Structure 1
Amino acid sequence: MEKNKHNIVEKLQKETTLRSTIVKVAVEVGLYVILGTFDVLLAYNKINFFRPFRRGFFCSDQSLMFPYKELSVKESHVILIALLPSTLIIFATEIFRNGRRLKKYCYLQLYYRIIGSMLFGFSLCILFVELTKSSVGSLRPYFFAVCRPNMTLTNCTDVYITDYVCRGTDSALIFDARKSFPSGHAASVWYAATFLVIYIHLRIYRRWKRSRAFCPIIQTLVAASALYVGVSRIQDNAHRPIDILAGATVGIIFAIITIYLSSVFTEKGTKTYCTAVNSEEERQFTMENET
């Protein structure tokens, strides 16, 4: 009788925990979706209240006279470069690290926490960048080419011009030409690159000696990919070097803050969400992969 009563209480506790977990995950996913949607609307200038600041220019400013070129790395490609490798590497690593010693639901919870932390930090990073872009209103190097302001660029005086009308027909491109600083592409890829490089160091390099020869190679490739995206933006006349440097700095800072605040990157944090099935199995698992 006492055993049956204990089983009933334990079952009720599990059901209560499951319901609370489902509610918590639903709220968090909803927050991610709302924040991500807001980022996309900001990036594509769909919110009138946050339209870019209308900055003036000097008609003799040669830094705004570059031709417009098709982008080498489009926005959709940036998302793939930034998030897909991180997601796959984290998924494979956590399976190999914990698949033998954690229950399935514990592994999924741990993976969700890591990916959720990464995506939440990424969304906040993009939000900060987009709000800064709109507030600063820095003109892109190809601004004259897409705006085609109603003034002559020959024999003009060094007067700061704010009263002008763009004769260009692509309004979306003209709005985007006012959002040069800082670079969103650079912030995105350097956030993801920093997150992944530190993750590899904390969760792979420090754990398995046999993988230490490969970790620096992967980390170098990740950083090189981020660097390539930044350089391509300069080659496409979409940004100045200072825009890329500022965007990369923002991305790196947000990634470091996200990792610092996410306890799941440590063994202590892992056990906070999921307890090892058996301490002896955990010790044996560690010995097998460290030798």
Structure 2
Amino acid sequence: MPEIQLGAHTVRSHGLKVLKLHMHDWLILLLLGVIEIILNVIEPFHRFVGEDMMTDLRYPMKDNTVPFWAVPLIAILLPFIVVHVYYFIRRDVYDLHHAILGLLYSVLITGVITDAIKDAVGRPRPDFFWRCFPDGKGVFDNVTRNVVCTGQNHVIKEGHKSFPSGHTSWSFAGLGFLSLYLSGKIRVFDRRGHVAKLCIVFLPFLLAALIGVSRVDDYWHHWQDVFGGAIIGTIVSFFCYLQFFPPPYDTDGWGPHAYFQMLADSRNDQESNNANCLSVQPSEPENVYAEPQRHIEISRSNTRDGSLMLDEMESQRRPCISC
């Protein structure tokens, strides 16, 4: 397991560096937000709805048990708060940044997929009859027997967006990401058998499921719409989480990939610096050994010079035999 450096990488010390490194990811996220707005503005496909099909679309119009504005609070703000609480404990900007980025990607990718399918399919909601005919008097084409709606355009437009459920897919995308995030932080799969940890992990999924059930109870969606939305949100949340974090069952499942990559790079830099220092040290003994060798050569030359001088003096002392 890599060395843990608590409080060594905060928003103040490394926040700008991490943000610059992932600037393109935030630009793509902004593009997804624009696409999501466009998908909500365009007109969905108006599927043929015959007179005999209205039998299953006469459920009463009701208000939302979970309002539209509450879904971002539950699916985004709640995980956002949990991530920030963990940051104040861990002080790791890598975990904070990648958790927020992964959460937003999970929700926005799910939103784009959901609304694109909504516009393409154009399935009528269970209360479509009352959206199309607010006065309760059905009007149909004389030839095709297709509906000729007399209600308000924006109400009819929403009536063609039943499949899949946006409330459900957004909830499972945000809360599913939160569930994976918590499972990694509390180390659910540490093989110690603490079932209480599983209860904590399943709570976000339970909340998302209850939101999905409310859509059927309010007659805004068929059960297939909720089931499809749950699958989309769950799958996207898994992909987005694994893009930034190891699997929760992994030994290092408590931290993001970027954190461990940073530790590895720091360790490699330190080892390379140590190697450079060791490569410089052997050059010093060469001078140490070279210096004595120089003294030996000088002493030898001095010895030879001294021997020559002694020979000359000795020759001068000897008597000349020829004289």
- TM-score normalized by structure 2? 0.66
**Is 1:205–1:211's contact at 8 Å kept on the other side of the alignment?**
no
Between the aligned partners of 2:80 and 2:265, the Cα distance in structure 1 is: 24
CA shift in 2, pair 1:160/1:184, >3 Å: farther
**Is 2:239 the partner of 1:254?**
no
- Alpha-carbon distance in 2 for matches of 1:79, 1:147: 29
Gaps of 5+ in 2: 1-13, 248-252, 268-323
Matched residue SS, 1:79? helix
TM-fit CA distance, 1:212 = 4.7
Letter in 2 for 1:56: F
What secondary structure, in the 3-state scheme, does the structure 2 residue paired with 1:180 have?
Answer: coil
Matching residue of 1:120: 105
Aligned partners of 2:87, 2:192: CA distance in 1, in Å? 17
SS at structure 1 position matched to 2:213 = helix
* Equivalent position to 1:220, from 179, 199, 202: 202
- The equivalent position to 2:179 in structure 1, one of 173, 182, 197, is 197
Q: SS at 1:205's partner residue?
A: coil
The alpha-carbon deviation at position 152 of structure 1 amounts to 6.0
1:178-189 superposed matches below 5 A:
178-189=160-171
Matched residue SS, 1:272: helix
Q: Write out per-residue CA displacement over residues 108-146 of structure 1, whole angstroms, 9 at most, x where no aligned residue.
A: 233111210221122111101100000000000111101
Tell me what 1:52 maps to. 44
- Tell me how far 1:228 sits from its aligned partner: 1.2
Task: Report matched runs for 1:1-291 at 5 Å.
Answer: 22-43=19-40, 46-47=41-42, 51-61=43-53, 62-96=55-89, 98-99=90-91, 107-148=92-133, 153=138, 161-162=145-146, 164-169=147-152, 171-206=153-188, 212=194, 214-263=196-245, 266=253, 267=255, 269=257, 270-273=259-262
Gaps of 5+ in 1: 1-16, 100-106, 279-291
| SS of match in other structure, 1:224 | helix
Whole-Å separation in 2 of the counterparts to 1:92 and 1:205 = 17
- Secondary structure of the corresponding residue to residue 75 of structure 1: coil
Q: Is the 8 A contact 2:122 2:163 kept in 1?
A: yes
Shift of 1:260: 2.3
Compared CA separation, residues 186 and 273, structure 1 to 2 (3 A): farther
Counterpart position of 1:287: none
Q: How many correspondences in the alignment?
A: 245
Distance 1:140 1:126, change over 3 A: same
**Contact 1:205/1:212, CA 8 A, preserved across alignment:** no
Task: Tell me if the contact between 2:188 and 2:198 (Cα under 8 Å) persists in the aligned partners.
Answer: no
Deviation at 1:21, TM superposition (A): 5.1
How far apart are the structure 1 equivalents of 2:214 and 2:76? Answer: 19
Length-normalised TM-score, structure 1:
0.72
> Partners in 1 of 2:144 and 2:216 — Cα distance?
25
Give, in angstroms, the shift of residue 42 of structure 1: 2.2
- On the 8 A contact 1:180/1:243 being kept in 2, the answer is yes
Change (3 A) 1:271 1:65: same
Letter in 2 for 1:40: I
Tell me how far 1:268 sits from its aligned partner: 7.0
Q: Deviations over 1:58-92 (max 9, x none)?
A: 21222211111111111110111111221122222
Contact 1:93 / 1:204 at 8 angstroms: preserved in 2?
A: no
Residue identity opposite 2:214 in structure 1: S
- Give the residue type in structure 2 aligned to 1:165: V
- C-alpha distance in 2, partners of 1:74/1:66? 19
SS of residue in 1 equivalent to 2:150: coil
| CA positional deviation for 1:214 | 4.6
> Which amino acid letter does the alignment assign opposite residue 89 of structure 1?
V
Stretch moving more, 80-89 or 133-142: 80-89
Query: How many angstroms apart in 1 are the aligned matches of 2:19 and 2:222?
Result: 46
Alignment CA distance shift 1:116-1:264 (3 Å): farther
SS state at 1:40 partner: helix
Compare 66-75 and 260-269 and name the one that shifted more: 260-269
Give, in angstroms, the shift of residue 261 of structure 1. Answer: 2.3
CA contact (8 A) 1:72 1:232 kept: yes
